[in-house]
Amino acid sequence: MAFFADKDYTQDQAVLDAINAVMQGNLTLHWIDANTEKVRGRASDPRRGLTYEDLDLGSYGFSSIPEFVRDEQSMVARGSEKWGRLPDMGYVVNRKSDVWSDNVTTLYEEAKTRRWAPAVDVPWAELEINPLASDLQAACAQLYTFLQECALVALDFPARWVPLINQEFIEQKSFMCSQMLDGARLLEVFRKRALYTGAGLGRASVTAEQGLKEWLWADTYPQGSLAINILLAGFMLAAYRQVAAVAPSRVDRAIMGYAMQDAARQVSYGTGALRYHLEHQPAQKAALSGYLDEAEHVMLALVGSPELLEPLIIISGGGLEGAQVKSGRESVVKFIRLVVREYLERVSAAGLDRRGNSRLPAIVDRVSL
Amino acid sequence: MAIRFPSTDYFNSLKKLMEADQARFRRLGFIDTTFGVSVTHNETSRDFVLTFEVFELKEVREVEKIDIAQVDFVIAGDAAVWRDMLENIRRNGEADAQHDLNTLAHFGEALKVSYAEPEGHDKLYRFMESIQEFFDLTSQIEVGF
């Protein structure tokens, strides 16, 4: 698939003549009187600096984006004057309530200020000063292999949709780019952690990957957002909290501390987007509930994956001895129930009460020691 | 002189230290949340509401009872658990993995986190690094219980 501009500009004498005219000092200045609003953006809080919220002004503001974007299909910057034959970008997501969340500008600014760098913000040398027992080291290598698969999908989802979302939603698209950076950074830190100690990577998870692909390729953005930004991100947030709570090293604790803030932003967006979607499109409640009837099973593919479950038990219990495995199993059962409970809380708070419909609570209740 | 925990004096001492160590908190990023801290001793609770804004603790006040609808989340626990955490911070300069807020609150067994809205709860994790480092400032003061 390719797009060709309306002409070959090297063959357009008018363009070449215009360049020469300007270079000879004959400026047209036709843009200087652009028919646009003249506003002045100022930081409302100097500590915070100039934010997107400060620029929510008149025709430039995100508050003025209509629910249905009918006549903006080019890459024109919102609020600028349109003239001439601008290309149609073929955006397929043009309805604000299909993507928007009221917290998206806040989360975008927050994502940038709460940035971190795996190369320098993780005390890697601790792994050499206080090396882990081989059982724990192997479990960590497997866990971080699994987490890379999840982080990759968290990166791929916004990447899949950003070019398809209307350019009017600038702040939304920018936030999704920050999600990609978060996903890339988590992929990086999990990979570095797995490879630092010489244990190498572990084994890929067939069940997790089959399920993650199903979520990633959901038909619509609202469905995919529900799957990736609530189900997957909620699961990952709980997993990071679990590993942080039983962290076998300062390195693992530091990684999980940073990872949980990135995942928490993702679920905050996901919950906000679902709420906004259902407030503006209440008829979608039944459709999304139907989608979840089909898609929730993936949660079991993730939590039930032996490539996650077993290393998580070993790390949670502190090793492979009988008592450690028993303690690990007790902890991981609580973790699984926590994942499902918090998922149901989030969708319910957003307007989609699944507590009577979801098969997950009954299934996880049957998980016994 | 030791500053008693829990008290507004204790939180205000940390507030001043936070303001004095802006580089540390700026590196962690914005923290925008209002949450409650509830400390129970002999079945009586002392409740506080802390409001963080940008890089600072904007306000702390003791209240009779925390209105859960007015805060993002409440961290509640027995005075002995809080004391354990703060003494651990005093010994190590920061909470170790067994005594940090995430671990103590993870399954609600030592500290309990309650909330009206899941998005409020998620803010605990969005800002966990800053909140923990705020409590870790306890290493720089004398605390009495």
pLDDT at A3: 86
> Residue B1: its pLDDT value, please?
81
Nearest to A241 among B54, B97, B102 (CB): B102
Structure tokens at A369: 């020691």
For A238, the closest chain B residue by CA position comes to: B106
Q: Is B76:B108 a contact under the CB 8 Å cutoff?
A: no
Distance separating alpha carbons of residues A117 and A124, to the nearest angstrom: 12
Contact A114, A181 (CB under 8 A): no
Q: Between the CA atoms of B99, B101, B103 and B108, what dihedral angle is there, to the nearest 10 degrees?
A: 120
pLDDT tens figures, B16-68: 999 999 999 999 999 999 999 999 999 999 999 999 999 999 999 999 999 99
Using a CB-CB cut-off of 8 Å, the residues of chain B touching A259 are none
Residue type, A347: V
Nearest neighbour of A342 by CB, restricted to B102, B117, B118: B118
pLDDT at B63: 98
Give contacts of B 86-145 with A, CB under 8 A: 97, 100, 102-103, 106-107, 117-119, 121-129, 132
Determine the pLDDT at residue A235: 98
What pLDDT is recorded for position A355? Answer: 86
pLDDT digits (tens, 9 = 90+) for B57-108: 999 999 999 999 999 999 999 999 999 999 999 999 999 999 999 999 999 9
Q: Which residues of A touch B99 (CB under 8 A)?
A: none
Distance CA A219, CA B58 (A): 45
Q: Which residues of chain A are modeled with pLDDT < 70? A: 1
Burial of residue A166, with CB atoms counted within 10 A of its CB: 0-12 exposed, 13-18 middle, 19 or more buried: buried
Beta carbons of B29 and A114 less than 8 angstroms apart: yes
* Rounded CA separation A252/A256 (Å): 6
One-letter amino acid of A220: T
> Which of B101, B100, B111, B142 lies closest to B9 in space, CA to CA?
B142
H-helix or E-strand spanning residue A111: helix A104-113
> What is residue A336's predicted lDDT score, i.e. its pLDDT?
96
**A112 Cα to chain B: minimum distance (Å):** 8
Which pLDDT does position A277 carry in this prediction? 98
Query: Which of 3.30.2350.10, 3.20.20.70, 1.10.620.20, 3.40.720.10 is the CATH number of A102-367?
Result: 1.10.620.20
Q: Is residue A244 within 8 angstroms of chain B, CB to CB?
A: yes
